[in-house]
Structure 1
Amino acid sequence: MTDAARRLTGLAVTATALTAVLALQPSPSGPVPRPADFGATPSPPPARAATSTRVVDVPAHRSEVSRHDPAPERVQVPGVGIDAAIRPVGVDDQGALSVPGDPTVTGWYRFGPAPGSAHGSAVLVGHVDNDTGAVGEFAALYEVKAGDRVEVHRDGAGPATYRVVSRSTVPKDRLPPSLFRRVGPPVLTLITCAPPFRPGLGGYQSNLIVTAEPPQS
């Protein structure tokens, strides 16, 4: 698989926007229906006014991000059979968000909150398939329902648990920057690619976003 097929390409981490593309080259065996949207994504806190267009918000060093929360190791969604290992991912020199090449593994955006954090959006990303036709764990996000339980097992701590509240599909170049927020109410954001699939334009043209919230106490 090429490097371009292993990344969410085009993630521009700027003061005004974060744009992400799950670029996959394989051709599905047939037309892939777009999953139905449901629920309402929790409202983010008010955005700060942009003061420049230089690359910001992604720390140059891991130490610049608070790491009081245990690192995630595995994500499970029992209702649809997701059971995937997690490894930390970051961004490259072009601002592209790396995604594990193995579709059975998910990536945790390590410059944002960790699952189980008391604030912000913890982001997990994964491929829906690969160029060999192997189906990824996150393909099952097409089947989740409101209320499905999500468990994130963490290093040296109990699991962080969530309930699915929404699913939506957006064009690959319009991923909302609020998905990567570090403040506000805690949520878990799961991202994979979604149809339409157009080989001549680089593969999948949309991103599927599933949002889950901690259960109410």
Structure 2
Amino acid sequence: MNRPSDHRPPRLRRLAAVGVLVVLATGASACSTPPPPPDPAPASTEAPGPGPAPDGTPDGTADGTAALPSVPVRSAALPDAAAQAVDPLAPVALALPALEISVPVDPVGVAPDGQMEIPPRAERAGWYRFGPAPGASTGTAVIAAHVDSAASAGLGPFARLQDAAVGDLVDVALADGTARQFAVTAVERRAKTQIAWPDVFVRDGAPRLVLVTCGGVFQRDVGHYTDNVIVTAEPVGGP
């Protein structure tokens, strides 16, 4: 009997083959992503933001709950009702149709250990809510997700980011019911120790969107990957 043909785009077929090898080699593992910037500027609708990140490379954990490096909070006081209100520009879902990526997006902050939170399941992404939103007129919105995790079966959607191409479109749905579209301008995979994260977590300048996940080789002895995959995108049609 003839086998059914695979009608997926060549990029997705190649990525699927690589994904099988990764799962066989690593199983369900953890992923860590970038440290937030030092001394974030306050925003009127945001909760207290993180401060200086420690030196060194962020580590993942074997249970799939890896977080980002340490970030102090500006004030111990509880935020008022206005600060707790949902940002109308907060992202709630993200899609990259060329790679068949579609994920819900959760606002994330600072974990009890002082690191940035990432949703434990690889099927969900986290938006760094102490930074700009994808609908903001200035600054970089950062959305990160695990490439895989112990809480998920196999690779997560962001594992496909390594196969993104310049010109791919990214659609972001916002909390106010509107949407923003971005076009990919750069795709990088770099060692965690060689990434200048302050250049990623930028609060001023032209608006852009940065998507982050893990890549490279999974190091079983320390429980995280060697690299990060970073996809940069800019608003379609300008800010």
1:156 to 166, 176, 183: 176
- 2:186 aligned with 1:166, yes or no? yes
The aligned counterpart of 1:146 is: 166
Which structure's residues are more often helix, by fraction?
A: 2
Distance 1:91 1:68, change over 3 A: closer
When the two structures are superposed, what TM-score results if normalisation uses the length of structure 2? 0.66
Identity of aligned residues (%): 31
Unaligned regions of 5+ residues in structure 1, if any? Answer: 27-53
Which structure's residues are more often strand, by fraction?
A: 1
- Tell me the distance in 1 between the aligned counterparts of 2:99 and 2:180: 18
1:136 to 145, 153, 156: 156
Larger Rg: 2
TM-superposed deviation, 1:203: 2.3
- 2:212 aligned with 1:191, yes or no? yes
Maintained 8 Å contact 1:190/1:210:
yes
TM-superposed deviation, 1:18: 4.8
- 2:229 aligned with 1:205, yes or no? no
- 2:141 aligned with 1:122, yes or no? yes
Greater relative contact order structure (CA < 8 Å, 6+ sep): 1
Unaligned regions of 5+ residues in structure 2, if any? Answer: 1-28, 40-50, 64-69
Maintained 8 Å contact 1:90/1:109:
yes
- Tell me the distance in 2 between the aligned counterparts of 1:10 and 1:168: 14
TM-superposed deviation, 1:199: 0.6
TM-superposed deviation, 1:130: 1.5
Residue type of the partner of 2:167?
G
User: What do the CA deviations read for 1:61-84 (whole angstroms, capped 9, x no partner)?
Assistant: 586799764221100000000000
The aligned counterpart of 2:200 is: 179
- Tell me the distance in 1 between the aligned counterparts of 2:75 and 2:95: 29
Residue type of the partner of 1:146?
V
When the two structures are superposed, what TM-score results if normalisation uses the length of structure 1? 0.72
- Tell me the distance in 2 between the aligned counterparts of 1:165 and 1:11: 22
